[in-house]
Amino acid sequence: MTRVAYFRVSTKDQSIEAQRVALGGTFDREFQDDGVSGATPAALRPGFSELLNFVSEGNTVLVSHVDRLGRDAIDVQTTVRKLLDKGVNVDIKGLPIIGRGFGAGDLVIAVLSQVAQMERDRILERCESGRAAARACLEATGKTHRGKASLGRPFKANAAAVLAWKSEHTASFAKTSEHFGLSIATVKRYASASKPT
């Protein structure tokens, strides 16, 4: 069985030694990410991405804490699922081994799934609550609770004037954006917003 250790520190001046000591023993391979935030999805971190390409069925990935995999339950669950799909066991210090052949590991995955769903629901609730507060404040004061004049992205120029110029000159999005000093994406957004729904 190949034992693969993964270490992550958020800043370059931190050391992975504490994590190595916490895991104890020796490892067949080690992968690490130095100066990479836990908010960065695991698959986008260079060290972890390399680990994903290296591991294969029967390997065990060891980490000292679940937050080394990610700070967000959704990302942690996705990462663990990727490893399990490759036939890799995950050994997080202090938790039962997570793997297809470990009953308790399956339970941990089920709990991670529930936590991930609760987190998704909470995010949606917070977003809707923020939109409701913004709408109410906009109606009452003409500005949102964050002091903005509208709920959407603010227009950088008069959209109608930009589109009229584009049409009059049969100009491309690129030419129009250059003429008004806007990004191409902004001109496309103006055009999209003007189309009848």
10 a catalytic residue: yes
Question: For residue 51, is it left (φ>0), alpha (ψ between -120 and 50) or beta?
Answer: alpha
For 81, phi and psi rounded to 5 degrees?
-60, -40
Strand, helix or coil at 89? strand
Residue with tokens 């260079």: 46
What is the 3-class SS of 105-123, one letter each residue?
HHHHHHHHHHHHHHHHHHH
Contact residues for 139 (Cβ-Cβ < 8 A; gap 6+): none
Distance CA 79, CA 84 (A): 9
Write down the catalytic residue from 10, 167, 172, 183: 10
Q: How many angstroms separate the Cα of 138 from the Cα of each of 80, 87, 151, 153, 159?
A: 43, 53, 8, 14, 22
Nearest to 85 by CA among 68, 65, 61: 61
Active site amino acids:
10
